[in-house]
């Protein structure tokens, strides 16, 4: 059939067609999605966590149980997941692909970017650590796939494309400290914290959330870019103090009659730095506008003597505080200012 289209000017057209057809044929060594799944799925884990209970609810049980996903990134047990799954958790269990379970603890957490790093002491010999991609190299239109536990159904695969990139502050979920990668690969409850892979089998992002008017997936899913995860919790080691806090500014500062911006302590995880500081969480659930919050807890106004509103200077000051150093905060409690401090323990 190729000879039939050869006519005056035909040889050039024939060569062009051959080149186009050749570009549509996958490279001989390219892996199929099925092959990639077989290679990387043993790095994917299920995360089960129990949030610290609000004191007024303590008689109703230990707290709220949550299920999500994560990905093993090192042979010594480091796991990336979403911060909203574990940041206020009093108990975390990791379930590997073969059903083995192990307790985990938070090493680092950046709630403003919805990324956290866990550690388990024992990793099954059959588990495989995944590699992180250079997310800056990803392009809109690239194929991606997600493995996770939607509604608790573990190791479920969905496939799609990278459909957008969003610089810090551009998403609508109140997460202002991260670049998010948008995808049309299906994401549902339980996928949070799981890996979004590129077609090299590398972790391109960590699933965070989706936007929906119906409650189900509508093609707008978001993952924290791998380079953000690498920087915040692997290189910088964003500290985890066991505090579920809400940053208060503008309208909320006026509504709560505060002298300036602060962090409302909603929950404090037992045996955490926040607990050792003596911080108190809230005890009354309320809704302000469309936001559900827990009121009644301490409001942190300063840390290391730096006002909470001075974000850049505060972050620089807190980076200098390490094991053996004293961490101090100024809080508003029952209308009065109080100073709290503790010495950070050795790891």
Catalytic residue numbers? Answer: 84, 114, 192
Residue 293, C-beta contacts closer than 8 angstroms, at least 6 positions apart = 246, 264, 266, 282, 285, 286, 287
Alpha-carbon distance 31 to 84, whole Å? Answer: 33
Alpha-carbon distance 318 to 268, whole Å? Answer: 19
Alpha-carbon distance 41 to 98, whole Å? Answer: 11
Query: What region does 309 belong to: left with phi over 0, alpha with psi -120 to 50, or beta?
Result: alpha
Which residue shows structure tokens 């974000």?
Answer: 311
Alpha-carbon distance 203 to 198, whole Å? Answer: 7
Residues 205, 178 contacting (CB under 8 angstroms): no
Residues 344, 277 contacting (CB under 8 angstroms): no
The SS3 call for residue 56 is: helix
């Amino acid at each position: 059939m190729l000879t039939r289209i050869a006519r005056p000017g035909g040889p050039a057209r024939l060569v062009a067609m051959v080149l186009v057809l050749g570009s549509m044929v996958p490279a001989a060594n390219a892996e199929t999605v099925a092959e990639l799944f077989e290679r990387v799925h043993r790095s994917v884990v299920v995360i089960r966590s129990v949030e610290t209970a609000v004191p007024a609810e303590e008689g109703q049980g230990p707290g709220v149980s949550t299920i999500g996903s994560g990905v093993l990134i090192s042979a010594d047990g480091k796991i990336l997941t979403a911060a909203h799954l574990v940041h206020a958790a009093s108990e975390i269990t990791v379930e590997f692909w073969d059903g083995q379970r192990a307790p985990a603890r938070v090493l680092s957490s950046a709630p403003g970017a919805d990324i956290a790093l866990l550690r388990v002491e024992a990793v099954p010999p059959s588990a495989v650590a995944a590699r992180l991609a250079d997310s800056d190299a990803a392009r809109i239109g690239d194929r991606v796939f997600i493995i996770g536990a939607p509604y608790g159904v573990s190791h479920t695969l969905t496939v799609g494309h990278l459909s957008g990139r969003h610089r810090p502050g551009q998403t609508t979920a109140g997460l202002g400290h991260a670049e998010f990668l948008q995808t049309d690969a299906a994401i549902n409850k339980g996928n949070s914290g799981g890996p979004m892979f590129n077609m090299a089998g590398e972790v391109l992002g960590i699933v965070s959330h989706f936007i929906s008017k119906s409650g189900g997936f509508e093609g707008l899913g978001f993952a924290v870019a791998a380079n953000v995860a690498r920087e915040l919790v692997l290189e910088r080691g964003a500290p985890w103090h066991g505090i579920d806090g809400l940053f208060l500014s503008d309208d909320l500062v006026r509504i709560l009659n505060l002298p300036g911006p602060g962090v409302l302590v909603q929950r404090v995880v037992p045996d955490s730095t926040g607990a050792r500081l003596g911080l108190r969480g809230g005890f009354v659930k309320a809704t302000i506008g469309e936001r559900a919050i827990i009121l009644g807890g301490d409001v942190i106004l300063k840390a290391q003597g730096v006002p909470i509103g001075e974000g850049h200077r505060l972050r620089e000051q807190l980076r200098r505080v390490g094991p053996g150093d004293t961490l101090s905060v100024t809080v508003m409690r029952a209308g009065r200012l109080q100073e709290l401090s503790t010495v950070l323990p050795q790891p």
